[in-house]
């Protein structure tokens, strides 16, 4: 216990305040090496998965000035202005950074901001990384990104087909081949810009604090606000594809298109004005030396023609996958890409029988372990209260009859549970959701399990129910 406590303290010390963002799902390379899955004495342990900004704007600018061809540099800001303001854009509005400009950073954000210049952890040969899961070509896929320092701005996503050079280091132009576009109807997460439909404008922090976005995370995950967004995967097949997330911050300057974007409404109730989502009080990026900070992350997976889709349920014509009949028993598998997972995808139960909780060991294995759950009104999460240096290491489950209530990023507690009854709604942005936000119970009465039908509807089904 003391060893674990010391480990947590040291891990917390490694988390520098200037870290901003990491990709929770599909799981990024840096998060897979974090405290959620690895012990600190593991040589691959990463204490700051949110810190991959290639040494920040000063570092990327200096590296570009040193490594870019002088003619290329002159055409892309002259070593003073933000070079992406001078590159072509994809049909969906994403920046298409040429390889000769991308020498200013590793494609996965190396070097990490706290490591020596020249260090390279994740922007390495594709053969060093294994796909962790499989998705279906063309499917709508929900991403989960966690931000722990809000600086406005937007996200862009790209995919590189590593099958084309399985032993090489992926280039930025490989990622540029597949710039991802937001899925239709995803404006309930963040407004879709018709001129830049590849952009995800980052959620104001109040959306997580007030429960407008689900804040569930694995045990020991770095704290921050969950942001969820749906993107359309390309119609390709690959045994190894790499997803690149790019976060373009917006606190020091604003990007092309920000001025003109003004949708008729904004999702949720806590942030209802453009000023809360998009910062246009600063100068434009690419002018007078204004150069924003950027962050990157890479995730590895496969794409096949027949799935299995991970976040969009199969259509009626799709070969059905047998649904779990109830929760996993004590010490049985409840997740992970190994064990009984098929093709790296776990299709069994992700819930555990009462008295146990799903323990994340690593990306390959989770199992149901006896739960020492918090009692009624005791803390079950958050970076305040009994958290150590902002890290909650206590129970995240609650005793039977109570449920963990998310109050804000600093405090969650176990409150008397009013769980949904059999066949009642337990989630989704439709049905009785208010403005696309479900505020009702997400737990189900004993003997039933919350079944995810689609993003609009989840319901409590009997544990022994099978509709095949």
What is the set of domains in the chain, with CATH numbers?
12-304 (2.70.50.50), 333-462 (no CATH)
The pLDDT assigned to 377 comes to 80
Question: Can you tell me the mean pLDDT for 167-174?
Answer: 97
How far is Cα 316 from Cα 307, in angstroms, rounded to an integer? 14
When mean pLDDT is compared over 21-25, 382-386, 425-429, the highest value belongs to: 21-25
**What are the distances in angstroms from CA 84 to CA 81, 87, 101, 333, 417?**
9, 5, 8, 46, 50
Question: Can you tell me the mean pLDDT for 278-286?
Answer: 94
- Start-to-end CA distance of the chain, whole Å, equals 46
The pLDDT assigned to 15 comes to 44
The pLDDT assigned to 1 comes to 38
pLDDT over 80 at 347, yes or no: no
How far is Cα 414 from Cα 403, in angstroms, rounded to an integer? 5
Residue of higher predicted confidence among 120 and 118? 120
Q: What is the average pLDDT value for the chain, to the nearest integer? A: 84
Residue of higher predicted confidence among 307 and 210? 210
Using pLDDT thresholds of 50, 70 and 90, give the confidence band for residue 4.
very low
Question: Can you tell me the mean pLDDT for 213-237?
Answer: 90
Question: Can you tell me the mean pLDDT for 176-193?
Answer: 96
Residue of higher predicted confidence among 297 and 368? 297
How far is Cα 455 from Cα 230, in angstroms, rounded to an integer? 10
The pLDDT assigned to 391 comes to 59
The pLDDT assigned to 344 comes to 63
Residue of higher predicted confidence among 313 and 106? 106
Residue of higher predicted confidence among 404 and 325? 404
The pLDDT assigned to 310 comes to 40
pTM surpassing 0.75?
Answer: no
When mean pLDDT is compared over 93-107, 405-419, 438-452, the highest value belongs to: 93-107
How far is Cα 375 from Cα 253, in angstroms, rounded to an integer? 47
How far is Cα 46 from Cα 311, in angstroms, rounded to an integer? 27
The pLDDT assigned to 342 comes to 66
Question: Can you tell me the mean pLDDT for 329-337?
Answer: 80
pLDDT over 50 at 414, yes or no: yes
Taking alpha carbons only, the member of 116, 117, 110, 118 closest to residue 49 is 110
Question: Can you tell me the mean pLDDT for 330-342?
Answer: 77
- Distant-in-sequence contacts of 382-387, Cβ < 8 A, 24+ apart: 382/407, 382/408, 382/409, 382/410, 382/411, 382/412, 383/223, 383/409, 383/410, 384/410, 384/411, 385/410, 385/411
353: its two tokens: 């029988």
Using pLDDT thresholds of 50, 70 and 90, give the confidence band for residue 304.
very high
The pLDDT assigned to 132 comes to 94
Question: Can you tell me the mean pLDDT for 357-379?
Answer: 73
Residue of higher predicted confidence among 358 and 163? 163
How far is Cα 165 from Cα 7, in angstroms, rounded to an integer? 39
pLDDT over 50 at 319, yes or no: no
Taking alpha carbons only, the member of 293, 278, 34, 262 closest to residue 146 is 34
The pLDDT assigned to 6 comes to 42
Residue of higher predicted confidence among 157 and 316? 157
Question: Can you tell me the mean pLDDT for 337-349?
Answer: 71
The pLDDT assigned to 450 comes to 79
Tens-place pLDDT, residues 51-100 = 999 999 999 999 999 999 999 999 999 999 999 999 999 999 999 999 99
């Amino acid at each position: 216990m003391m060893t674990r406590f010391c480990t947590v303290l040291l891990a917390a010390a490694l988390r520098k305040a200037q870290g901003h963002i990491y990709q929770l799902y599909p799981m990024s390379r840096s998060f897979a090496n974090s405290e959620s899955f690895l012990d600190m004495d593991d040589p691959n342990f990463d204490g700051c998965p949110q810190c991959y900004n290639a040494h920040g704007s000063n570092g990327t600018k200096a590296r570009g000035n040193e490594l870019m061809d002088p003619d290329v540099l002159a055409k892309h800001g002259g070593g003073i202005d933000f070079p992406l303001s001078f590159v072509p854009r994809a049909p969906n509005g994403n920046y298409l950074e040429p390889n000769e400009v991308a020498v200013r950073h590793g494609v996965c954000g190396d070097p990490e901001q706290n490591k020596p210049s020249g260090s390279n952890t994740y922007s390495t040969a594709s053969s060093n990384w294994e796909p962790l899961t499989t998705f279906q070509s063309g499917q709508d896929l929900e991403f989960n990104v966690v931000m722990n320092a809000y600086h406005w701005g937007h996200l862009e996503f790209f995919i590189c087909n590593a099958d084309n050079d399985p032993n090489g280091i992926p280039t930025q132009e490989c990622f540029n081949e597949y710039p991802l576009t937001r899925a239709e109807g995803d404006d309930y997460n963040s407004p879709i810009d018709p001129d830049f439909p590849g952009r995800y404008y980052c959620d104001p922090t109040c959306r997580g604090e007030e429960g407008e976005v689900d804040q569930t995370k694995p045990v020991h995950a770095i704290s921050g606000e969950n942001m969820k967004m749906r993107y359309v995967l390309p119609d390709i097949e690959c045994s190894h594809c790499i997803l690149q997330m790019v976060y373009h911050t917006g606190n020091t300057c604003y990007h092309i298109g920000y001025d003109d974007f003004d949708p008729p409404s904004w999702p949720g109730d806590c942030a209802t004005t453009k000023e809360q989502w998009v910062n246009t009080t600063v100068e434009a990026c690419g002018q007078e030396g204004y150069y924003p900070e950027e962050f990157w992350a890479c995730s590895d997976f496969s794409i096949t023609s027949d799935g299995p889709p991970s976040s969009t349920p199969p259509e009626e014509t799709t070969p059905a996958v047998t649904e779990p009949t109830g929760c996993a028993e004590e010490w049985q598998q409840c997740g992970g890409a190994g064990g009984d997972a098929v093709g790296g995808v776990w299709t069994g139960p992700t819930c555990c029988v009462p008295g146990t909780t799903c323990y994340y060991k690593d990306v390959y294995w989770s199992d149901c372990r006896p739960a020492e759950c918090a009692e009624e009104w005791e803390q079950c999460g958050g970076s305040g209260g009994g958290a150590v240096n902002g890290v909650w290491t206590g129970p995240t489950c609650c005793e039977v009859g109570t449920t963990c209530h998310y109050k804000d990023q600093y405090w969650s507690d176990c409150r008397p549970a009013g769980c949904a009854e059999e066949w009642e709604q337990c989630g989704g942005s439709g049905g009785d959701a208010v403005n696309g936000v479900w505020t009702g119970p997400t737990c189900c009465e004993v003997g039933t399990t919350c079944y995810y039908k689609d993003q609009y509807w989840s319901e409590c089904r009997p544990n022994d129910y099978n509709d095949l």
